[in-house]
Amino acid sequence: MQDIIPDNFLTHLDSQGEAQMVDVSAKIATIRQAVAVARVRMLPETFAAIQAGNAPKGDVLATARLAGIMAAKQTATLIPLCHPLPLQKITVEVTPHPQLPGYEIHATVKTKAETGVEMEALTAVSVAALTLYDMAKGLEKSIQIEAIHLVSKTGGKSGDYSAPA
């Protein structure tokens, strides 16, 4: 598998085993992009109400998209060892899937920096999914957030990655 790192190579630990932020100062800034996905599953009645715009808190999908964008920009403040990055592009798409029933959330994050944006994309879909739950919990408490994962990443020393189909 292309994403396995040797046991003796943990970049977030110093020689004493203490957590540290990785020093990326010697790296060259390159264009990097990451795409992540999450699914939000719900009852057909909840899905129908959201699609019809009948959720008690207002526009569920627009609020979830905006929350995802804002979350990507705040990743370094949420995840202790992440580097603050200048993000040049963030898109969050919330796509209806009647067969779930529910929604699939895709986030694409792009930068020109010394380190990648995988965590920003994953944070975007996670917070967008949580926001969708929050906006719709008045309709249903059993909404499920699932399958959060990295779909792809490009750029950087470790090369490109695409999740298996």
List, as one string, the DSSP characters of 56-78.
Answer: TTS-HHHHHHHHHHHHHHTHHHH
pLDDT at 1: 42
Q: Tell me what the mean pLDDT of segment 140-152 comes to.
A: 98
pLDDT of residue 13: 61
- The answer to whether 3 is a known catalytic residue is no
List, for residues 27-41, the tens digit of each pLDDT value: 888 999 999 999 999
Question: How many C-beta atoms surround the C-beta of residue 76 within 10 A?
Answer: 16
Distance CA 71, CA 18 (A): 27
Residue 25 confidence (pLDDT): 74
User: Is-above-0.85 flag for pTM?
Assistant: yes
Q: Considering the candidates 7, 23, 134, 160, report the single residue annotated as catalytic.
A: 134
Could you give the C-alpha distances from 28 to 32, 149, 155, 159, in angstroms and in order? Answer: 11, 27, 11, 14
Rounded CA separation 95/102 (Å) = 9
Phi, then psi, of 116 in degrees rounded to 5: -80, 175
